[in-house]
Each structure stands twice: as C-alpha cells, then as structure tokens.
Structure 1
Amino acid sequence: MAGAQAQTVAVDIGHTLAASGATSARGRSEFEFNRDLAWQLVSALRERGLTVRVINADGEIPSLRARPAQAAAEGAELFISIHHDSVSAHELQPWTWNGLALDFNDEFAGHSLFVSRENPDLPRSLLCARVAGARLQRLGFVPTHKNARRRPYADAAHAVHYYDGLAVLRHASMPALLFEAGVIKHRDEELLLRDPVRQARMADGIATAIAACLRNGDPVR
C-alpha cells in the first residue's frame, strides 16, 4: 500500500440542513452534532498524515445514495459517515426545557458502529469498525447495545452491527462504516456530546483506529 500521504478518508457529515435527523432532548438537530464531531475527526485524521475529503460540508447533499458517489469520495480508502443516535418514538417521555415541549429517554446511551454485507469490501469495513470500537473502549467510551434489538451483531464485543440496506454503506465503492457517537435523546449524554473537549478525544480515538486499520495489511477474507 502507498505511504500515509497517499491514503484518503472520506468523512461524511450525516443528514442535511433540510432533513436534519433526530432532535436532541434540548432541541438541537442531529446534523449540528454530526457536523461538530465530523470536523473534529477531520482535524485528527489530518494530524496523522491522512488526506481527508469532507462529504456534505454545506449540509445540502441531495441524497444518501449520492454521498459515497461524490467526486470528493473517489479514490478514498475508507468512507465514514458520522451520526448521532436516537430511540423509537414509543420509548420517549415528554418534558419541558426552556419553555419548549420536547422529549427524552434516559435509558439508552453510548456509541455504536455499522457495516453492510453488501459493501464491496466487507472485510476491510469490518476491520476498521472493530478497531475503532476497541480503541474507543480503551479510551473509556462505553458503547450501547440497544441497536442489537434490530440490527444483528457483526462484533458484539465492540458494538459493531450489520445494517445491510443502509445506502451510504452499500453503495460505497470503498470500505465504509457508519458511526453513531451517542444517544442525543439521553439528557446527560447529550451534554457530553456537546462538549468540544470530549468530541476531540472521541475523534482522536477514531482517527487513531482508522490510521492503524488502513496501514495494516489486508484483513483475513
């Protein structure tokens, strides 16, 4: 494989300005959380000598399927889409914050990762997801296992799930993973996820994992 300078990672900011994803317990859009963490990850990857291309920087990309097909992603060794998690509507409880009628769920918290068996390079996708999950746990970040109720495990120890039909993973021409940084409906975790220092630490862990994954030889297939 070429040297580190030739390696490229495409970082996708999940959701858009118009379709901004979940709303946090205090009324902030998921897109805003995704954008903040994604830019932290971009900086951390560049510090490791990797080339980074940002997908959906303006929040106006037309579709999920279009994300990995963007010219900016062409030739990337890895595509990673940054998201924040929610919970099902029937599991939410109403509350009022700053005069706003909102909802929350304080039962579920933590990160998780997803890969697709329809991606053309599942072994590399899965390797990078596993390494990221392991690194985050070594740094003290605790995963959630709530998503196992709907998405089967690819690696239970590191909270990596299969999500085969997810467009940004299955339509990517390169290894791809989706990262859910935490549950923004959880009132305490939402505050942690807003913290730039914590964001930087999480991004540092992901970047370290990605660099290690890309610089290793081919995974067992």
Structure 2
Amino acid sequence: MTFLRILVFILAWLSTAALSAAPLVAVDVGHGIKDSGAISARGRPEFEFNRQLAGVLANALIDHGLAVREINFAGDIGSLAERPLQAVGSDFFIALHHDSVSERYLQFWEWDGRQASYTEVKRGFGIFVSAQNPDLATSLRCASTIGAVLRRAGFIPTPWHSRKHVPADAENGVWYYDNLVVLYRTTLPAVLFEAGVIKHREEELELLDPERQARMADALATGIAACLYVKEISVPE
C-alpha cells in the first residue's frame, strides 16, 4: 500500500467524520507585537510571517474537519506560559515560527537603502518536540506524520538542527528541544513548527508566496488530521 493510497483512504474517511466530534487544534502564533522575533533578510519581523501562515493554516484545518482555537493571533500575549494555558481543553497544540541563524553565519547586503543581514547556509523547515511533554508519544507520532506529509508535498527539512539538537525523526525533520515552554508546559500533545528560514533571501520570498503558504498549510493540516483522527487504522489492500 503506497503512502498516496493510504493518504487518500484517510482523507475519504475524514470526510465522513461528524463536525461535532472534530478534534480541537490550538494554533499559536509565535512572538508578538512587542517581541517580534527574528528579522528577515529584507527587514520584516518574524511575527508577521507567523501570523500570516497561522491564518492560512486555521482555514486549512477547518477544511480538513478540525476545529481551531486561535492563540495570540492579535500578538498581545506577553507570557510564554500563557499560551499553553489558553490551549487547555484542546486536543493538539502547534506553535508557528519562522527560523533564523546564528550571527556568525550572516552576511550583509544593502536592501531598501539600508544594510541588512542574510544567510546562504541554512534553509528548510523543522519540527520540534519536548521529551518533557506529558504526551510525548502522540507528540512524536503527529510530528513525524506532519513531516512526512510535508516532504511528500515537496518541502525539504533542514539538516541544520543536527548541530545542536538530538534527532527524534531526522528524515522527517523532527528534533528534540526540551526546554521550550510552549512544548513542555502544555497538558496536551504539542509541536513547534519552523516553516523556513527568513534570513535566507530566496526562501524568504518563497515563504511569502500565497500559493506556497496554501500548500504548506494543507500539508500541515493533512498531517495533523491524519494523526488525530486515525490512531490505529486498517487500510484495505
């Protein structure tokens, strides 16, 4: 049974699920108005990337039969601990971020009349889980499923995290990051998703492309739905 046939079977099964029983996914927009996160190669704050992708993902999750709990979409949550508190009662938590790189790997160029920094050595998505999460097994299963669907959709995980993090499923871009508050302070399965590297000049433009955002959001939603709806499934030959 090929991955594609399994996925088609899962999606067909999902179409029959009752909306009233839909799992609830907490979508957390990383950073905020005051702490805007990393700055892209063209001077745009990470929070803007995170919020834009979150809106697209929320719609994709609903299209896949899931319910959505929006967290920090306004960018006004100042405390990291407040995010998992607002997710209580959900079935899954995903924090959306966009990645940067250490200063020693930065180069400089002139953009819009100003000096800006960029990198050429790091690009691609990454998924993080915490070994301290109270439901690590589900977190890992969902993370690997999300990563596999993203790869099938043509997205490439970065191998960069092998320099600093222990692999959980490196092939699918999943790494352990134990001390992230939004992952270990939750009471539910959780992942942190880095959509790509906004310090990479080419990838920054790709991450802003609406069609690419829609494809990535659909892959994320498909992976989450497959994990939450179908824990154990017998797939016909």
Q: Does TM, normalized by the shorter one, top 0.5?
A: yes
1:5 touches 1:50 (CA, 8 Å); kept in 2?
no
1:142-161 equivalent positions in 2, closer than 5 A = 142-161=156-175
Give the secondary structure class of the aligned counterpart of 2:165. Answer: coil
Identical pairs, percent: 55
Q: Find the counterpart in structure 1 of residue 72 from structure 2.
A: 56
Q: Find the counterpart in structure 2 of residue 116 from structure 1.
A: 130
RMSD: 1.4
| Residue 25 (structure 1) aligned to one of 35, 41, 52 | 41
1:5 touches 1:49 (CA, 8 Å); kept in 2?
no
Q: Which runs of 4+ in 1 moved over 4 A?
A: none
Residue 84 (str. 1) matches residue 70 (str. 2): no
Q: 2:221 is matched by which residue type in structure 1?
A: A
Aligned positions, number: 216
2:105 touches 2:121 (CA, 8 Å); kept in 1?
no
Counterparts of 2:210 and 2:34 in 1: how far apart (Å)?
Answer: 24
Q: Unpaired segments of 5 or more residues in structure 1?
A: none
1:50-199 equivalent positions in 2, closer than 5 A = 50-70=66-86, 73-199=87-213
Q: Find the counterpart in structure 2 of residue 5 from structure 1.
A: 20
Give, in angstroms, the shift of residue 164 of structure 1: 0.6
1:95 touches 1:103 (CA, 8 Å); kept in 2?
yes
Give the secondary structure class of the aligned counterpart of 2:110. Answer: strand
Q: Unpaired segments of 5 or more residues in structure 2?
A: 1-16
Counterparts of 1:75 and 1:218 in 2: how far apart (Å)?
Answer: 23
Larger Rg: 2
Give, in angstroms, the shift of residue 66 of structure 1: 1.2
Q: Find the counterpart in structure 1 of residue 14 from structure 2.
A: none
Which whole-Å deviations, capped at 9, do the CAs of 1:37-80 have from their partners, x for residues lacking one? 1111000001112110110011010211110111xx22111000
Give the secondary structure class of the aligned counterpart of 1:188. Answer: helix
1:4 touches 1:215 (CA, 8 Å); kept in 2?
no
Q: Find the counterpart in structure 2 of residue 16 from structure 1.
A: 32
